[in-house]
Amino acid sequence: MVKLISLYMNLKKHSSTESNILNAAKEIFERKGMAAARMQEIADEAGINKAMLHYYYRSKQLLFEAVFKKAFSTLAPQLNDIINADNSLFDKIKNFTHNYITFIIKHPYLPNFIIQELNRNPEFIEKQLSNKLPNIEKFRNQIENAVKDGHIRPIKAEHLFINIIALNIFPFIASPLLKGFLKVDKTTFKELMEERKTEVVDFILNSIKIK
């Protein structure tokens, strides 16, 4: 019994520090990127000694990879679930748009972080993340069938897929630029993003539906 309790205490201490580090690292890496992030700043954010980062994660690179994989693992399975759900193409587009915009509003740094670091290190996606990539075959078939059955105009699955993701994610990645171009403040921009939950769906469906 004592054994169990002490084991539990240790485990708790251990994993609490370890996950504190991971959370702090997530904050700093997402805000600043791998290159600009400082190990000391992560330690400060976690409220612990810098040596602990190395004790639990060995190096900055490995800590970064742990953060990155976790970030990727929160985004990719969601995408996978949506596009492989057992519903219609139109419902998938509605779900994707609504769920993803809602999710990203809560985690605004995430998409930019992932895209940024993948650009600096494109091999990473094959070497480390290939098992986490969503499977789009079902979605592709669904699009091809919809074209064949005359429900939507002819369009390559690849392009429709790219378009859906672009319309949903780009505004969050490019928000400083778009705010500048459109001359709108933070609040107005947020309202625009809320509107997009329906606007993007309309835009896509209007484009592909045969009326």
Partner DNA sequence: ACGTTTGTTAACTAAATGGTTAAACTAATT
Partner DNA sequence: AATTAGTTTAACCATTTAGTTAACAAACGT
**Interface with DNA (CB under 7 A):** 2-3, 5-10, 13-14, 17, 37-40, 48-52, 54-55, 58-61
CB 151, min distance to a second copy, A:
14
CB 58, min distance to a second copy, A:
21
Instruction: Determine if 90 is a binding residue for a second copy (CB under 8 A).
Output: no
Selection from DNA, a second copy, none that 125 binds (CB < 5 to 8 A by kind) is a second copy
CA 132 to CA 195: how far, in whole Å? 31
Contact 82, 96 (CB under 8 A): yes
User: 3-class SS at 61?
Assistant: helix
Please, which residue, 56 or 152, has the CB nearer to a second copy? Answer: 152
Instruction: Determine if 77 is a binding residue for a second copy (CB under 8 A).
Output: no
CA 160 to CA 155: how far, in whole Å? 7
CA 164 to CA 151: how far, in whole Å? 18
Give the x-and-dash track for 29-48 against a second copy (CB under 8 A): ---xxxxx------------
Selection from DNA, a second copy, none that 101 binds (CB < 5 to 8 A by kind) is none
CA 62 to CA 128: how far, in whole Å? 12
Among 133, 141, 148, 201, binds a second copy (CB under 8 A): 133
Among 91, 158, 190, 194, binds a second copy (CB under 8 A): 158
Contact 64, 111 (CB under 8 A): no
CB 28, min distance to DNA, A:
10
User: 3-class SS at 133?
Assistant: coil
Instruction: Determine if 151 is a binding residue for a second copy (CB under 8 A).
Output: no
DSSP 160-190: HHHHHHHHHHHHHHTHHHHHHHHT--HHHHH
CB 69, min distance to a second copy, A:
14
Per-residue burial over 115-148, b if 16 or more Cβ lie within 10 Å, else e, is: eebeeeeeeeeeeebeeeebebeebbebbeebbe
Instruction: Determine if 197 is a binding residue for a second copy (CB under 8 A).
Output: no
Residues 162 to 181: which contact a second copy by CB under 8 A? 162-163, 165-167, 169-171, 173-181
